Amino acid sequence: MNIPWMVDGHCDTLTAMGKQNRAFNVRSDRGQLDLPRMQEGGINVQFFAAFIAPKYKDAALKRCLQLIDIFYEEILRDQSAVALALNSEDIYRITGAGKIAALLSIEGGDALTGDLSVLRTFYRLGVRSLTLTWNGRNELGDGVGEGTAAGGLSLFGRSVVQAMNDLGMLIDAAHLSRRGFWDVAKTSSQPFAVTHANCRAVCDHPRNLDDAQIEYLAQSGGIIGLTFVPEFVDRDNPGLATFIRHVDHISSRFGTGCIGLGSDFDGMDKVTPGLHDATCRPQLVKVLLDHGYSHEQIAGIMGGNWIRLLAEVLK
C-alpha cells in the first residue's frame, strides 16, 4: 500500500542523543529514533522537540538554545537526507526530493521567560510549534500535573496563543490542564493540536484526552497525535491491539480526520510492543488495514491529516 505521508508529531530525540551518547545519522540499539530507523520505517515528516525539563526551569532559555543547536548540528548534519521545513511548501519540496522534512518545536513555554519577543526570536530560528506547558505550572498556564487544583491559561498564555496565530505557529496543548485546553479553544483563531496523547475513555490516564476534547479537535480541524507511550495505551497490556482501541474509539464517534500520530519516541523508558521504534510504521499500516480501515483513512492517520493541518496553520 502506497502511503504518501508518514508524519510523527513528537519525539524527544534532541534530548536523548546527549543522554545516550549517540549520533542521529548512525543506527543505534539505544533509544527509538535515528535516521536509519526513520528511513526503514518510511517516516518523511518529523517534529523534533526541544524539551525543557523541570530541572532547567531557572535556565530554560539557555537549555532551549542548546537543544536548538543540537537540532541544527546533528539532525540537519546530512543535508542529503534531512532538511529544515518551515511551512507546507517546504514539506512538499523536501519530501518530493526524497528527503525527510524536519520541523522544530519547543516542549515547554518556560523557554519564553515571560517575553513575547523571545517567541518571535524562536520563530526566526525556525521553531514552528510550541507545547505551552509540560506537566507543571509555568508563566503560560497549568499542566495536568497540577491535578484538580489546576487553572487554565494565564493572561500571558493567552497572549502567546494569539501571537502564535499571528506568526503562523502550531499550538500544542499536550500536557496542558483541561481548563487550559478549553482556554486555548476559546482564544485561538486557528485549529491546534495535542501532539502526543490518547483517549481517556480507553485508558484513564490524566495525560489522555476526554471525549469532549477530542470532539472539539475533530470539529475544529485540529489533530490528536495518538502516542505510543505504554502507560497511555493501556496500563496492563500495552500493544498494537490495545493501541488500535484508541483509533477505533475516535473513529466510531468522531471519524478519522482528527487522528494523527505523535510517537513520543526517545521520551519513554519502556516501549509498547509492536510500536517499539521508528521502524514500526509498516506494521501499523498492516494492522489498520486488517482491522478494516480504508486506504484513505489509513493515509490520513499515518500523516495526511497532519499535512492538512500544517498547510492551514504554518506561515
Alpha helices in the chain (DSSP H): 13-20, 35-41, 60-70, 88-96, 116-124, 155-167, 178-187, 211-220, 230-233, 240-254, 281-290, 295-299, 305-313
**H or E element at residue 71:** none
Give pLDDT, residue 123. 99
- Which pLDDT value is given to residue 18? 85
For 240, the 3-state DSSP assignment is: helix
pTM for the structure as a whole: 0.98
- pLDDT score, position 148: 85
Indicate the CATH number for domain 7-313.
3.20.20.140
* Angle ∠(254,146,13) on CA atoms, nearest 5: 70
- What pLDDT, on the 0 to 100 scale, is given for residue 149? 81
Quick check: 51 and 108 in contact, CB under 8 A? yes
What residues of the chain score a pLDDT lower than 70?
none
Output helix, strand, coil percentages for the chain, rounded to the nearest 5. Answer: 45, 15, 35
Rounded CA-CA distance 87/128 in Å is 8
The pLDDT tens digits of the residues spanning 21-39 come to 899 999 999 999 999 999 9
Domain boundaries, the chain: 7-313
CA atoms of 305 and 315, how far apart (whole Å) = 18
The 10 Å Cβ neighbour count of residue 282 is 14
Distance between CA atoms of residues 246 and 197, nearest Å: 10
User: Residue 12: CB partners within 8 Å, gap ≥ 6?
Assistant: 49, 51, 107, 264, 265, 266, 267
DSSP 171-212: EE-TTB-HHHHHHHHHH-SS--EE-S--BTTTS--TTSBPHH
- Cα distance between residue 306 and residue 223, in whole Å: 7
Cα–Cα–Cα angle for 253, 46, 32, rounded to 5 degrees: 95
